[in-house]
Amino acid sequence: MICEIENVEARQILDSRGNPTLEVEITLDDGTQKTASVPSGASCGTLEATELRDNNQDDYHGKGVLKAVDNVNNKIAPALLGEDASNQRNIDNLLLSLDCTFNKSSLGANAILAVSLACAKASARSYDLPLYRYLGGINACTMPVPLMNILNGGVHSNNNLDFQEFMIAPTGVSSFSDAIKSGSEIFHSLKEILSQKGYSTNVGDEGGFAPDLSTTEQAIELIIEAIEKAGYNTNDIKICLDVAASELYIEGDCSGGMCSLSKYTLKGMGKSYATEEMIEYLENLVRDYPIISIEDGLAENDDLGWINLTQKLGGKCQLVGDDLFVTNPDRLYKGVNEGMANSILIKPNQIGTLSETLDTILLAQKNNYSTIISHRSGETEDTFIADLAVAVNSGMIKTGSISRGERTCKYNRLLKIEEILGHDAKYLGLDAFKGYVHTESCSL
């Protein structure tokens, strides 16, 4: 069966922050129509594929994506008409050859990814298959542990918290639906606690609360209080952090004959740490609190620091590379060889095509790195990553808090997938954090 592409059309839409992003609609010769939209990050690794913006200050403060829209409609579309949308690698290779840059700066990774994902969604619909089944086959059956961002800091909020995300992971429950239930109950318990203590209950970009707290420890202790208030304990509900350390890092400078040391500046806490001091601080947090995952604990270019961090904490805690790896197989390969981290965050818009995303996931799984499928802070209502998490048996997903429609739509899609899978659905809980690939086949 050939899913021949009959039309490709892009348009500018808005993301969850009210900024422009891209939506692409693919029409096949059998009448199938599907759309895909792409998100945008606030905290971005410098090595991510290029998100093409118009930079016209009179239009959406320079954030318009009409250049990317034009690239789809006038450069990509003519090249794809008549192609088989279900031949994903061929589609993605065509897109890469049209762009012909190492970072997708010609057409824009946002333009390329929207087309790539729309082709996959249209093909799945044409084959009358759920997207997760189309992408993953009969072995796609693992429901992800949700890493729910319930307190926001860093560039995702307007408060004094230096770390970007404080998340809960329901590891001691038996199903995804139970995980959502516990997460929701803890989220609302935290809201009550914050309100009683006189803190703001406004939410940040990813739906978590953004109170003006003083320290990382204070945030963690409030979350533990909320876990217990909701009737759970830290044996079943663990804590995960996203430090987003690249945002805190000031690299040393030897210009002018004087050398300054690299350091991590935690302005909210009024502290500054050298790399080894930052590692010691993270070690102390893991020792003192039920933390099982730390994302971007050090900066993307602090290679020696990452090696030391992994040697000291890699056997105790999941260490996730986001800015470090930017969903790039070459970056991940370097990390594997040099012993950096033991887990990778997967964001399709960091690399630009579905095929490259899947290649990175496969490389991680082959090398015993756990994978976390992730959203971005500027999201859309597209639920592609929910299906992707199940398709590749990732075992974990980050899609924000348990509030805001662009976040909850992913959770709701996963609840539906769990219902479709029925007794075949697997939920790994704590085992998802151990970096191994779950290979048990699903019964049909």
Whether 347 is a known active-site residue: answer yes
Is the CA virtual torsion 427, 432, 436, 437 positive or negative? positive
Residue 246 in contact with residue 252, Cβ under 8 Å?
no
Q: Which of 206, 247, 295, 356 is catalytic?
A: 206
Given phi > 0 = left and psi -120 to 50 = alpha, else beta, which region is 270?
left
Bridge partners, residue 250, by sequence: 263
Is the CA virtual torsion 207, 211, 216, 219 positive or negative? negative
Q: Which of 347, 398, 410, 426 is catalytic?
A: 347
Q: How far apart are CA 115 and CA 349, in angstroms?
A: 12
Please give the backbone phi and psi of residue 266, each rounded to the nearest 5 degrees, phi first: -105, 85
Going by C-alpha positions, the residue among 8, 13, 5 that lies closest to residue 382 is 13
Q: How far apart are CA 419 and CA 434, in angstroms?
A: 26
Is the CA virtual torsion 209, 215, 221, 225 positive or negative? negative
The DSSP H or E segment spanning 335 is helix 329-338
Please give the backbone phi and psi of residue 76, each rounded to the nearest 5 degrees, phi first: -80, -50
Q: How far apart are CA 418 and CA 177, in angstroms?
A: 8
What does the block give as tokens for 149? 């961002």
Other Cβ atoms closer than 10 A to 111: 31
Catalytic residue positions, numbered:
206, 347
